[in-house]
Amino acid sequence: MTHEPSCCADLRTATLSRRRLLAGLGAAALGGMTVSVFGDAVRQVSYADTVTDPSADPTATPQAAAGNVLVVLSLRGAIDGLGVVVPHGDPAYAPARPRIGIPQSRLLAADSMFGLHPAMAPLMPWWTSGKFAAVQAVGLPLPNRSHFSAMEQIEEADATSSVRQGWVNRMVGLDADVQPTEAVHLSSSMAPTLVAGPAPTLAADGLSGIALAGANPAYDTDPVWRQRRRTSLATAWSGTTGTLGDAVRDALEVTERLGPVAASTGGPQNGATYPTAWPGADLADALRDTARLIRADVGTEVVSIDFGSWDLHANYGSADSGTMTGLIGALAGNIAAFLTDLGPDLGRVTVLTISEFGRRLGENGAGGLDHGWGNMMLLFGAGVRGGRYHGTWPGLTTTNPYVDDDLAVTTDYRDVIGEVIAKRFPGRSPASVFPGHQPRPIGVMS
């Protein structure tokens, strides 16, 4: 690694200065401008109508967005929010869950209505310091009990369009930057709907997957051969215009940008210790990579990660042992390690969890829970008004016509995400990220 090309330090400087350049210029000056920053391997196209989102809050301070990052943890399979943020104060809760309910005495951070599952213990320091909040009774405006279809709906978040585009894709598409590194999905090389769409994004099993075969610093240790490989590709594609040629040039650029990050062996910082065993090890890999990506400051705004197999129709377990307790422990241990790992960078990073729907109140005959409706969301880090439970509790015995032993939804999930976007990414308006939805303030962010 002693012969590492000198590109990288320059590259980072150029990236940062370019971002400032774009932020500092007026829309008119940028009309139709094409900037080539790093030679022919890189493209940067800016258009006036994308520089400033016209529906964004004009009083917001643009500088507040610089370097801010949103990490979206998709808890796929529908996590039981009533088992994480437990409504012990609701009289319907305990009788409905005679075998799998969490006893009030075991709850953490309990107030008169809610308390946290005991396996959330690793996260209590952030609850106490006001960097961890929970929102209850969140979800889709109407029940949708199909995993498949509810995930599509929640990630697409745009009933006005038939185009497959996730809200993260819309969000990163609202600024002048067209770098695919703006939104990165880690944990699978196929982008979920959440990040998929017209704006270029990246998806990989991990940072090491964002590598160019034949020029991967992890295997191809000689920089001369890496450069030959890159030069050869640039030659082969030099005459190819259009989306395919652009994609190759994007690939060359992001591997040059992220290659040093991906190949760096820098472990967790600030004494962070990630879980190493199932079921937490995969999430640990993704979060460790995310922390490295954030520290490298290469312009990434959103990181999306999938975690879990939360579809516990059977064998849910108890407060002390079983599948749910194991999964919550893995989630909590990982998030705690990640927040520790970030150290001072936590000041620009907000984490939120999302899941397609919640589960029923009553346990079924197999000691599990069937598909329900309302759920919880957890938020951590920058801007979060933590140490408290947000949302409006509908009660578990409501007469809502849609409710079938479900938790009713009183807060649209888009209001939670919209508030994060409004406060942390003031250049992007929630109304543009969630077309057809008028966001409602809920006070989870300051």
Q: Which residues bind other proteins (CB under 8 A)?
A: 146, 148, 151-152, 162, 164, 180, 189-191, 193, 198, 200-204, 209-214, 222, 224-225, 228-229, 231-233, 235-240, 242-248, 250-251, 253-255
What separation in angstroms does the CA of 260 have from each of 128, 292, 401?
37, 11, 55
- What's the helix, strand, coil split of the chain in %, to 5? 40, 15, 50
CB atoms within 10 A of CB 275: 21
Nearest to 375 by CA among 419, 409, 399: 409
What separation in angstroms does the CA of 173 have from each of 8, 15, 49, 407?
26, 18, 11, 34
Cβ-Cβ contacts under 8 Å for 443 (sequence gap 6 or more): 385, 390, 419
Long-range contacts made by residues 30-39, C-beta under 8 angstroms, separation at least 24? Answer: 30/176, 38/11, 38/14, 38/253, 38/256
Least separation in angstroms between CB 165 and other proteins: 12
Least separation in angstroms between CB 166 and other proteins: 11
d(CA 151, CA 356): 5
Which tokens belong to 219?
């295997």
Least separation in angstroms between CB 160 and other proteins: 14
Beta carbon nearer to other proteins, 322 or 343: 322
Burial of 108 (0-12, 13-18, 19+ CB in 10 A): middle
CA dihedral 8, 14, 17, 22 (to 10 degrees): -130
Which is it for the CA torsion 173, 377, 66, 345, positive or negative?
A: negative
Least separation in angstroms between CB 247 and other proteins: 4
Least separation in angstroms between CB 23 and other proteins: 24
Beta carbon nearer to other proteins, 53 or 253: 253
Beta carbon nearer to other proteins, 108 or 251: 251
CB 111 within 8 A of CB 96: no
Least separation in angstroms between CB 290 and other proteins: 16
d(CA 182, CA 254): 10
d(CA 354, CA 169): 16
Least separation in angstroms between CB 330 and other proteins: 21
Least separation in angstroms between CB 268 and other proteins: 26
Least separation in angstroms between CB 317 and other proteins: 18
Least separation in angstroms between CB 24 and other proteins: 27
CB 155 within 8 A of CB 193: yes
CB 359 within 8 A of CB 424: no
d(CA 197, CA 166): 6
Long-range contacts made by residues 248-251, C-beta under 8 angstroms, separation at least 24? Answer: 249/40, 249/41, 249/42, 249/43, 250/43, 250/180, 250/200, 251/212
Least separation in angstroms between CB 274 and other proteins: 25
